[in-house]
A and B are shown apart, each in its own frame.
Chain A
Amino acid sequence: MDGMHDLGGKQGFGRVRYSLKAQTFHEPWEKRVNALYSLAVKLGIFNMDEYRHAIERMEPRHYLSASYYERSLTSLATLCVEKGILTQEELERRAHGAFPLSTPSAPGRPNVATREHFKPGDKVRVKTDYVPGHVRMPGYIRGKTGVVVSESPAYPFPDAHAHGVKAADEPTYDVRFSTEELWPNSADPAFVHVGVFQSYLERVI
C-alpha cells in the first residue's frame, strides 16, 4: 500500500535530531512494548511481516503523531484483536479510555507468476505495481531502472506472508540505483542500494 510509512524521498522534513550515543529507549514502557510484541511473535500469534503491515495500516494522522513505540503498541493490539486473542472492548475497559487500532487490511497476493532469475550486472526495472496490501517496495523505486549487484538467500514473500497467503520463498536482489535516476535534478549525487524481491523486478533489454 502507498501508506504514510513509505517515507523515502519525501520532502519537507527538517534536520535529523541527532545526538552522540543516542538511546534506543527513553521510557520504561517502551521496553515493555518491544518485549510484548516479541513475545507475541515468539508464541506464533503473528509474524514480522504482519507486524510491519499493521503499523503501515495506522491511520496517517495517528501514524505521524505517534512515537515509534506507540506504533509498535498499536500494531500489537490490532493484531491481537484481529487474531481473536482479545477484544478492543476488553482493551479499552482495562485501559480506562479509547484504544485506537489500525485500519483493516486489504487482501495480500502470492508470488508473481513470471519471476525471472537475475545475475550481477543485469539491468532491471522495478515494475509499476500498485499493491493494496503489504509490499516491501519503497515507492521511490517504482518504475525505476537499476543494476543487480548481488542476490540474497530466499525469504518469505512479504506481500503474501503478511496476509496468510501461501507463497514460495523468493530471493531479493541488491539493486543499485543512482539518485539521478530516482529523483532527476533533485537529489544529492549518490547510489542507493535496495533489496528488491524477485516478484517486483523485470529485465531491461
Chain B
Amino acid sequence: MSLLTVSNLTKRYRRGGKVVTAVDDVSFHIEPGETLALAGPSGSGKSTIAGLVLRLIEPDAGRIEFEGDDFLALRGAKLRARRARLQMVFQDPLAAFNPRATVARVLDDPLRIHGIASRAERPRRIAALLERVGLAADLAPRAIHEISGGQRQRVAIARAIATGPSLIVLDEAVSALDVSVRGQILDLLLDLQSQERIAYLFISHDLGVVRALARRVILLDAGRIAESGDARAVIDAPQSAIGRALVAAAPRLKRTTQDAS
C-alpha cells in the first residue's frame, strides 16, 4: 500500500476576475521511505501541491489518501493526530518560525502539542533532537534569529522529525542555503531517511539536486503533470517540452569561455 496517494487533485484560484487553475487533475503516489521530487518553473503548481497535501489549502476536487485514510475527510482530534505523521520544511525557516522564539521553544511546541513527552522529559528530548540533526545541545537557549541559516534549517528538520513523521514535504528546503551548507543538509536528509524510513516529497526548481536525491520525479507545467518517471531517466532524456526547457536552462560548469554572440 502506498504511503500517500493523490488522485485527480485540482485547485483553482480567482485572480482579478479570472479563474486560474493552479493544480489541474494531478495524481501521484509516494511509497514508504522513498523520495518523490516535484520540479517545474515558477507558477507550475509545485508549492500549491505542497499546501494541498499538507491541508494548508483545501482542494476544489480530488482525493488524498494518507496512511490508508481519506485524509481530506479527517476532522478534529483524528486530523491533529495524523498531522504528526506529515511534516514540512520550507525554504526560509526564519519566515516559518516565530521570530522571537528560542531554538528550545521551536522544538518544545510539537512535543507538547502532540503529547509526545512530559514537561520534565522535554529538555532531554530537545537535546536529543538537536544532536540528531548535528547541532550542539547548548544551542537550545539561543534565539532563532541569532543562529546561522544552515543551523536554522537543521532546527527546522529537527522540528519536523520531533513528531515521528512518515512523510516530510520539503518545499525548496535547500534552495536558499549556501552551497557548502547545502551538501551537509542533503546528507542529513538522506541519513534520516535511511535510519527512520521517512518518505520525502521534495519540491525544487534545481534539477541537478532532484536528479541526485530523488528516485522518481514529476515535472509540472501550468498545474499539470508534463512528464514523470525515474529521476535519472527523465532528466537525462526529457520527453516533454517543459522537461527539455528545464534541462537546457540548468547552469553547467563550463571550462572554456564562449564568445559573446
Mutual binders A and B: no
Report A's interface with B, CB cutoff 8 A: none
